[in-house]
Amino acid sequence: MAEAKRSRKKPAVPPGRTGGTDVKMGVLPQLMGYMLRQSQLLVYQDFHHAVGDANIRPPQFSILEIVNENPGIRPSDVSTSLGISRANLVPLLGELETRGWILRRGDKHDGRAQALHLTRSGVTQLALLRDLILPHETKLAERLGPVGRDILLKLLHALVGETPGKT
């Protein structure tokens, strides 16, 4: 629970800024991991600004998107596909279920397993969230220039070992 609260805090100083001081960063700006983390902080901060009062975090949006595309998916498959531990997935699903956006039902092929489905409210909320998030993505892409987004995505897919466009 404390981690969820911590993830909602907005950094006092935008990533990549020193707050007006002359802090020397050493080798950090040349490290991929450091720059990826700084980029992630910037993207998350802008994501939270874009969704505003919807009070949703990127992992929750990702869960809604995956369940929408894969009705009846098992929580373990959501966990694997998003790289979220099962222990961390449970409270995320619980919150989405409490909000009335997702349902856990018994799997029709295996009564011991759960199958996830979006509710009508979940489908509606996902559409509203997409309307908020797509301009956020466009804004980020504009910072990279006309071909920068495509290049960045190809490089990130290569880094994680995925084929671009895999759905």
Q: pLDDT, tens digit, for every residue of 18-63?
A: 455 789 999 999 999 999 999 999 999 999 999 988 889 999 999 9
**Number of domains composing the chain:** 1
Which tokens belong to 162? Answer: 């995925």
Q: Supply the range of the domain harboring residue 129.
A: 30-160
CATH code (residue 60)? 1.10.10.10
Predicted local confidence at residue 92, as pLDDT: 96
Mean pLDDT of 74-94: 95
Please give the helix or strand (H or E) that residue 82 lies within, else none: helix 75-82
Q: Could you tell me if residue 119 is inside a domain? A: yes
| Residue 10, in any domain of the structure | no
Q: Can you give the pLDDT at residue 21?
A: 77
In a domain, 46, yes or no: yes
3-class SS at 166? coil
| Confidence at residue 74, expressed as pLDDT on a 0 to 100 scale | 94
Q: Is residue 100 part of a domain?
A: yes
Cβ neighbours of 52 (radius 10 Å): 9
pLDDT in tens, 95-106: 999 999 999 987
- Predicted model pTM: 0.79
9 domain-assigned: no
51 part of a folded domain: yes
Residue 20: inside a domain, yes or no? no
Flag whether 35 is in a domain. yes
